[in-house]
Amino acid sequence: MAGNGGIIGPIITPVKVKGSAQSTTSFTSNGTYNHPAEAWTDAHILIVAGGGSGGGAPTGGHRGGNGGAGGTVENESFSIARGASIPVTIGAGGTSNGAAGGTGAFGPQPVTGGGGGSSTLSGNGNPGGSGGSGGRGSSSSVGAGTPGQGNPSGTPVPGGAGGGGGKGGAGGATFTPGPGLDSSITGSPVTYAQGGPSPSCISGGGGLGNQGAQTADRNGNNGIGIVKPFATAYAASGVWSMNDVYDNVKSGTWGEEF
């Protein structure tokens, strides 16, 4: 009879591995993310900068360019030490004629605010996380995007400004916005960082190029930061004795921490 509960086999020591996803923490203003001491050493993060404002003549007369989406980074394995405190910066959307969106950051990972749309009929699009477009009187003024964070605006044509660039692709012609990023980090799909005009994009979207006074639909949307940590689990291959199971349950090394 074996002395390990009746099962013959080697003594097995559990090892720590990445466990199941836990609840998300969202930031809509500046703050600090505190990584649990029992969590795994990486997390799924999404950080979106503020979207750029659309541009246009303040007193009427012509529509300017559409705003670009805020720069966006999604990383499903972002390294974080157990117990670490990470500063989070949330960029505001542009709220004046052709203004860029505010920059954001999750610790050492920055994201660039969206480029503002041209404030004049023939002006150039502005670079940003995703680029803002030139005015409708121009034919070649494309706002560049930041590599890895966004895309350029669409090329304007006489009579129609290009769409602002988005995280998912470049802007198209004549007010066609660049697609955003569809992420399920919160458990259900949500679109982030769509180029302007982007009335249905809740975070990081670019604003509408229009004439006249600055209105809400011309403003870029504010950014957002979301973090989803993972539990630390214990695993081992082979045959477990009843004694081993009992000892590991008692010591807290059976199943998951956190």
Which pLDDT score is estimated for 136?
A: 75
The full set of domain ranges for the chain reads 24-228
pLDDT along the chain (258 residues), means of 10: 49 76 96 95 97 83 85 97 97 94 97 92 88 76 93 84 91 89 95 88 86 85 97 72 69 60
Lookup: tokens for 137: 């009187």
Which pLDDT score is estimated for 6?
A: 47
Which pLDDT score is estimated for 2?
A: 45
Pairwise CA distance, residues 179 & 220, whole Å:
15
C-alpha 197, offset from chain centre: 19
Instruction: Provide the Cα torsion 58, 102, 117, 171; round to 10°.
Output: -150
Which pLDDT score is estimated for 107?
A: 97
- β-partners of residue 56 are 63
Which pLDDT score is estimated for 145?
A: 95
Which pLDDT score is estimated for 146?
A: 96
Which pLDDT score is estimated for 254?
A: 58
DSSP labels, 76-116: EEEE--TT-EEEEE-PPPP-STTPPPPPEEETTEEEPPPPP
Which pLDDT score is estimated for 240?
A: 63
- HSE at residue 119, side-chain half, CA atoms within 13 A, is 15
- β-partners of residue 106 are 88, 109
Q: Are residues 51 and 206 in contact, defined by beta-carbon separation less than 8 angstroms?
A: yes
Q: Are residues 46 and 185 in contact, defined by beta-carbon separation less than 8 angstroms?
A: yes
- Peptide bond before 197: cis, by omega within 30 degrees of 0? yes
- β-partners of residue 34 are 85
Q: Does the predicted model carry a pTM greater than 0.85?
A: yes
Q: Are residues 204 and 48 in contact, defined by beta-carbon separation less than 8 angstroms?
A: yes
Which pLDDT score is estimated for 137?
A: 67
Which pLDDT score is estimated for 155?
A: 86
